[in-house]
Structure 1
């Protein structure tokens, strides 16, 4: 199976070499990589050039500088890279971050999983971060969700769900939509991915505003949003955080901000969230 790997990169001169080196060392050699230089102002472009000059599997495009908005910016860069390629030539479409390190057999294990399991639509490993000189599990509560830095989609699944949505929450929307289409999202727990920096560290958006906007752009109705907001507030034992999230959500709603999902997809997302809520709290 042939991979198309799109890597958005903005000011990643320190981290990107680790990612590209780990890809160059893969036991599976059948891939093409497009690094999207998303308006970098450091030496990211020079880093990329070292690989494109010596390895024909590495390509790049350069974009103009844009505002850093969680979700939409990275997907926009991804789409720009995707448009430069003929998808008919590939079997697996990957969106990787520019600050991860993959084990040498990562791509081969992913490819084997797709070959052996025709219902697998999205596959990935688990994220690990460095703490006190050791690589430890990042700690996300959902070990069954493939995280944004290391998405690998079967091409047919990717096309059926309409690709990635240029919005906050895209990396949860994809999982919901592909499941509704009958595909499986699978995390391979023995497949470890090293994450060099903490995600979200360079976001300018405040946490409460982030959650409010996230729930809105995910298409959640008021009831499910308020439940999710209460859950986040309970984690930090802050009633005010609950009201700040709700305020952010209601502000988006009053402004009628554009959603990147259809009405039918909103119904699917809310139904799946409602089913999860019932299963957890009412055991039904």
Structure 2
């Protein structure tokens, strides 16, 4: 019988010598291993390339791809450019699932086995992840909250057909929010599950890898403007995020980033029917409307 759990993982990384070994160890320990794990070095200046090369010598399914140094970390579009460099360098075209992960995460050995069980029980589940947790300096573990209908940006996992139906990733900030909603428009569910076996541990706070957490929140708000988020929804997001670190200021910066995009009349993502569908979905989440798509 054909194995329908063939999967490939692509990890764009830059200067991750401190955390990448944890991510590699997590992949190596999986009870169901990937057909390929492609790690794309996006211009690292530390020992990241050596770490990847050493792992690839031990595990033939780990592959190293080198990109030229662009001079600085480029979030959003730059990450996706690196992802597609890895995608073009896949040796296999025979796979059923595809994932994109960050190089600063760790997770349990049954992570993908448990994720496959979720897909097996729901034929309309197109993209999924676990929930993200951060260990603080005092030893306390806190959840970095994401909605249940959202897949973690740093741990993307799709059915191949879903990924194709959604058109893949756009090379812009908020690429993850865009692809989730394109999945919904194509009739697929997207989910993140709060299961013990699906816990993902972040070794730096979400949104803090480029410049600072404050810059990250501003960038997030601008990305929401680019995606086409409804103004009412961005104020709701900002209010919700005020109760997370950095308290109050983080939520305000999200709103400010959105308003900055609006004031400058920055470009926005364009796809037929996307913004209308996104607004309907967002209004339903605010309990003042109904989404357009009906998924069984």
In 2, are the aligned partners of 1:121 and 1:157 still within 8 Å (CA)? yes
1:9 aligns with 2:13: yes
Partner of 1:264 in structure 2?
A: 273
> How many residues are paired up?
278
Unaligned ranges ≥5, structure 2: 290-296
Kindly report structure 1 stretches of 4+ aligned residues shifted beyond 6 Å. Answer: none
In 2, are the aligned partners of 1:165 and 1:261 still within 8 Å (CA)? no
- Relative to structure 1, the CA distance from residue 37 to residue 275 in structure 2 (aligned partners, 3 Å threshold; closer, same or farther) is same
Q: What do the CA deviations read for 1:206-258 (whole angstroms, capped 9, x no partner)? A: 356324412211212445445555665698557xx85x766644543465544
1:262 is paired with a residue of what secondary structure? coil
The correspondence of residues 1-284 of structure 1 with structure 2, limited to 5 A, is: 1-66=5-70, 67-85=72-90, 88-132=93-137, 134=139, 136-140=141-145, 142-190=147-195, 191-204=198-211, 206=215, 209-222=218-231, 224-225=233-234, 228-229=237-238, 248-253=257-262, 255-279=264-288
Q: What do the CA deviations read for 1:176-234 (whole angstroms, capped 9, x no partner)? A: 22122221112232211121222222323735632441221121244544555566569
Q: What do the CA deviations read for 1:51-86 (whole angstroms, capped 9, x no partner)? A: 112221011211122343432222221122112226
1:194 is paired with a residue of what secondary structure? strand
Q: What TM-score results when the alignment is normalised by the length of structure 1?
A: 0.85
In the TM superposition, residue 132 of structure 1 has moved relative to its aligned partner by: 4.6
Query: Alpha carbon RMSD of aligned pairs, Å?
Result: 2.8
Q: What TM-score results when the alignment is normalised by the length of structure 2?
A: 0.82
1:153 is paired with a residue of what secondary structure? strand
In the TM superposition, residue 33 of structure 1 has moved relative to its aligned partner by: 0.4
Unaligned ranges ≥5, structure 1: none
Q: Aligned partners of 2:65 and 2:165: how far apart in 1? A: 26
Q: Aligned partners of 1:30 and 1:227: how far apart in 2? A: 39
Q: Aligned partners of 2:131 and 2:243: how far apart in 1? A: 26
